[in-house]
């Protein structure tokens, strides 16, 4: 399991922007379900999902791949790549924790 936090720039509303983009299909590579708490990649080659929560300007993400342990990095890299490509002006920092 990999956990990471996305710290948004103050006033950027990154969490709402990302959830709205996933729901409206402007961000087609990811899909949000369960009121924005479960995020999956639309490509089946990216197994698992991310549990999301939001608190005080920080998006807390937990990457879970129960069927293919060790593949969490695929979702992590896809999300970080998308953030860097489309939303870099709203991100202050990203913190990653690798769990054993």
Residue 87, pLDDT above cutoff 80: yes
By residue range, what is the domain housing residue 68? Answer: 2-98
Domains held by the chain: number: 1
Banded model confidence at residue 1, pLDDT cuts 50, 70, 90 = confident
What CATH number is given to the structural domain containing 83?
A: 3.30.310
**From CA 59, how far away is CA 70, in angstroms rounded?**
23
pLDDT of residue 100: 63
CA 6 vs. chain centroid, Å, equals: 8
Whole-model pTM over 0.85 = yes
Residue 45, pLDDT above cutoff 80: yes
Residue 79, pLDDT above cutoff 70: yes
CA angle 53-48-92, nearest 5°? 40
């Amino acid at each position: 399991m990999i956990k990471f936090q996305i710290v948004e720039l103050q006033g950027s509303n990154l969490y709402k922007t990302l959830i709205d983009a996933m729901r409206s299909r402007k961000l087609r590579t990811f899909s949000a379900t369960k009121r924005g708490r479960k995020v999956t990649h639309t490509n089946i080659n990216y197994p698992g999902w991310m549990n999301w929560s939001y608190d005080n300007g920080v998006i807390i993400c937990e990457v879970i791949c129960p069927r293919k342990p060790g593949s969490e990095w695929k979702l992590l890299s896809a999300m970080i790549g998308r953030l860097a490509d489309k939303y870099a002006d709203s991100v202050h920092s990203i913190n990653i924790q690798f769990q054993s």
